[in-house]
Amino acid sequence: MPIASAVQEALGSASLIRKMFEEGNQLKKQYGPDNVFDFSLGNPDIEPPPEFHRVFVKLAQEDAKGSHGYMPNGGYPEVRDALAAKAGKEHGVCLEGSHIIMSVGAAGGLNVVFKAILNPEDEVIVSSPYFMEYRGYIGNHQGRIVEVEALPDFNLDVSAIKERLSEKTAAVLINSPHNPTGRIYPAETIDALGSALKAHGDRCGRLPYLIADEPYREIAYNNIQVPPILSAYSESLVVTSYSKSLSLPGERIGYIAVSPGIQDKQEVLNALIYATRTLGFVNAPALMQRIVGELTFERVDIGIYARRRDCFKQVLDGAGIKYAEPEGAFYLFCQVPGGEDSAFVAHLKKHLILGVPGRGFGRPGWVRFAYCVDEHIIQGSAEAFKKAMETWKF
Amino acid sequence: MPIASAVQEALGSASLIRKMFEEGNQLKKQYGPDNVFDFSLGNPDIEPPPEFHRVFVKLAQEDAKGSHGYMPNGGYPEVRDALAAKAGKEHGVCLEGSHIIMSVGAAGGLNVVFKAILNPEDEVIVSSPYFMEYRGYIGNHQGRIVEVEALPDFNLDVSAIKERLSEKTAAVLINSPHNPTGRIYPAETIDALGSALKAHGDRCGRLPYLIADEPYREIAYNNIQVPPILSAYSESLVVTSYSKSLSLPGERIGYIAVSPGIQDKQEVLNALIYATRTLGFVNAPALMQRIVGELTFERVDIGIYARRRDCFKQVLDGAGIKYAEPEGAFYLFCQVPGGEDSAFVAHLKKHLILGVPGRGFGRPGWVRFAYCVDEHIIQGSAEAFKKAMETWKF
């Protein structure tokens, strides 16, 4: 047995998203990049804002002594202070720098949180459909994922979640704005979930954590405010990154914000710092920490995503494809006529359209298109979508 | 139970090295940085070489479109090609880019390797004394650490390792140049270990991996060549970083190099890439990948470390403290007169000298001093060391 059995098993069902990514690159080589309508990967194509470039060049020119060395595992104190102010404002709580742990993106942050809190056989509830990588993140630390179907409009089904709470429930993991549906959970839902977790904890003696994975917080349309998490429930942690808000996914920079009212706070913070170290992250990349610390309130121009969303909706409307109305993030989650998502995705590929089958998110019968691609690609796909639909038999 | 039991336990015995790091910062605030002789942390203080600065500024000014986006999880193909050429040359084998997986430092790389290969209860043999973080890295992935005492000169005890090989042995983890002793394992030792592993594997049907953690490969003195690993044994993996060779520990950049002759090579490579993704690293930081890809054969001026080593040896000789002769890395591992390492470290602290007790490396009775600090601090410590020794009762 050359590799770990669990990894061997996972490799068999390799990430559908990454698979499409590789296939997309192949097709682009073959047909030219403008002739492939690649909506498979959430790889933001909008460049970081001009302020990013300014700070990047400034820090490179300064290249201050010691600026690439180790710092405390939780990150530079001054950066944590700056981000505490930002996250505190977003979440309606008073945060200190010590409540922020810098992380290697949100994926790194989630692994750190699960390492810090999960005991073997502990359960983490997720709302399905969901970003399938969560399975791995939870399994890495001996947790068990419990899937609860979302409501038909993809809002959280708080009643159904309540029914699955037990003394094994370590956490509920939510993601809003949501990948793949674009749904933003309203404040009432978050509050209802917080109350349900509190009531459950008071009854059974174990307060589950609420973990909010929210790299898309800043990508919200029609002036919708993504409701706060940390003020809604004491035992909450927010995990986020600058992958989308500053378009820096390859640089792996994000943070964990811990509710100031969390029980055993110092122990939780110490555990997060220990997990950061022992999982081998050690610290978030030094340079990017300093850059985001200076760009606290910057973000990419989300008007670009809003226009693409509208454009893509027209394309889908024109082809007669139904979708969940996206309130945030940059995905359109569409119903597959007839329901055979894998076959539909294969059929689309013949028309050089790439999407990810819903089963890649635990929801067969749907398909996800990411619109972090240039608008002319979206417009250009209109004919291909129409032709694909004309020839789609179900 | 607010946090994971295993983490709670580990927090109790928090990293002695990091603890000293925090205490050192406190003392420096109190007494001024030049009056504290802080030899606790291996945080390279030599600045990256001038070429680093040139490439850093160049890439910042270019800030090419898409350069902060996702790339394949294993890293940029052109960077992997460049590092394959470098690692192939160092290890006397012909490597392709696909044999290199870019990692978030060596600590990240080791976690990726253990995630990829370990099944529950699998054993990993280490030579004691050793970098205590290995315990966490192995435990994260349900492995068990098996400590084998080094020979009196701190070379590997291959006979003793042989005796501990079993069908549970997934890997032997070595580290040369060695932290904390500065030992470089000679070629005959590596070859003998490779032969022992091969013979064991042929007998029991499971070839253990040889994992070489070698962030200090480029820090070797007196023209000693660190012997190759990948050519010495087919089932070997080298994990390394630019933390020491380019003084970039805070930037978290390194790589895993896989022996071209490894069994089930494609499966191993896929497992490493999967582990990179699922552990939340996703990829090594994009900018630093591109920088090290352009600095393949650059390194810091190790003459500086060599001079410090000589200076520190004089200081220790002057104080009558015995040490293992360091051939590489930047540590002096010293015998504690009387053997009470924790008490000795506490005693030294009164003289504002900071070191790490040997028990922090599984070897009580010794103390480690890191000489990645300015030479004037080393020189300045001479009197303090003498005074400390005069008043040390054992």
- ipTM comes to 0.96
pLDDT score, position A13? 66
- A274 vs B5, B11, B70: nearest CB: B11
Mutation test of the interface with chain B: which of A1, A26, A70, choosing the one with the most B Cβ atoms within 10 A?
Answer: A70
Q: Do B271 and A41 touch (CB under 8 A)?
A: no
pLDDT score, position B222? 93
Q: Do B107 and A248 touch (CB under 8 A)?
A: no
The residues of chain B that CATH labels 3.90.1150.10 are 5-49+301-390
As a dihedral over the C-alpha atoms of residue A83, residue B75, residue A213, residue A81, rounded to 10 degrees, the angle is -10
Q: What residues in A contact B59, CB-CB < 8 Å?
A: 60
Q: Do B281 and A104 touch (CB under 8 A)?
A: yes
Mutation test of the interface with chain A: which of B17, B21, B104, B248, choosing the one with the most A Cβ atoms within 10 A?
Answer: B104
Q: Do A8 and B267 touch (CB under 8 A)?
A: yes
> Among the CATH numbers 3.40.30.10, 3.40.50.2300, 3.20.20.70, 3.90.1150.10, which is that of B5-49+301-390?
3.90.1150.10
- A270 vs B11, B287, B288: nearest CB: B11
The residues of chain A that CATH labels 3.40.640.10 are 66-294
First to last CA, chain B: 43
- A282 vs B61, B252, B284: nearest CB: B252
Q: Do B117 and A264 touch (CB under 8 A)?
A: no
Residue pair B331/B355 in contact (Cβ under 8 Å)? The answer is no
Q: What residues in A contact B3, CB-CB < 8 Å?
A: 116-117, 264, 267-268, 271
State the pLDDT confidence band at A91, using cuts at 50, 70 and 90: very high
pLDDT score, position A1? 60
Q: Do A119 and B1 touch (CB under 8 A)?
A: yes
Q: Do B280 and A44 touch (CB under 8 A)?
A: no
Residue pair B132/B361 in contact (Cβ under 8 Å)? The answer is yes
Lowest mean pLDDT among A18-32, A366-380, B189-203, B293-307: A18-32
pTM above 0.95, yes or no: yes
pLDDT score, position A206? 95
Q: A96 vs B23, which has greater pLDDT?
A: A96
Q: What residues in B contact A256, CB-CB < 8 Å?
A: none
Question: Is A251 a residue whose pLDDT tops 90?
Answer: yes
Q: What residues in A contact B109, CB-CB < 8 Å?
A: 280
Mean pLDDT by 10 residues, chain B (394 residues): 87 70 86 92 91 98 95 96 98 98 98 97 98 96 98 98 98 98 98 98 96 97 96 98 96 98 96 97 98 95 96 98 97 97 95 94 96 95 97 91
pLDDT score, position B204? 95
- The sheet that has A366-370: what strands, in order across it? A331-335, A366-370, A356-357
- B44 vs A69, A104, A111: nearest CB: A69
pLDDT score, position B16? 66
* Domain B66-294 CATH class label: alpha beta
* CA of residue B102 relative to chain centroid, distance: 16
- A271 vs B7, B56, B112: nearest CB: B7
Q: Do B104 and A247 touch (CB under 8 A)?
A: no
Q: A310 vs B41, which has greater pLDDT?
A: A310
pLDDT score, position A9? 87
Q: Do B274 and A10 touch (CB under 8 A)?
A: yes
Q: Tell me the average pLDDT across A341-353.
A: 95
> Distance (Å) from the C-alpha of residue B319 to the closest C-alpha of chain A?
31
pLDDT score, position B42? 83
* A-B contacts at Cβ under 8 angstroms: 233
> Distance (Å) from the C-alpha of residue A204 to the closest C-alpha of chain B?
13
> Per residue in B172-195, pLDDT tens?
999 999 999 999 999 999 999 999
pLDDT score, position A14? 62
Q: What residues in B contact A298, CB-CB < 8 Å?
A: none
Q: What residues in B contact A60, CB-CB < 8 Å?
A: 56-57, 59-61
Q: What residues in B contact A270, CB-CB < 8 Å?
A: 11, 14
Q: A9 vs B197, which has greater pLDDT?
A: B197
**Phi, psi torsion values for A118, nearest 5 degrees:** -85, 135
- A267 vs B3, B268, B286: nearest CB: B3
pLDDT score, position A15? 62
Task: Give the residue on B whose Cα is nearest the Cα of A61.
Answer: B57
Residue pair A73/A273 in contact (Cβ under 8 Å)? The answer is yes
Q: Do A68 and B251 touch (CB under 8 A)?
A: yes
> Distance (Å) from the C-alpha of residue B197 to the closest C-alpha of chain A?
15
> Distance (Å) from the C-alpha of residue A315 to the closest C-alpha of chain B?
26
- B280 vs A56, A107, A118: nearest CB: A107
Residue pair B353/B322 in contact (Cβ under 8 Å)? The answer is no
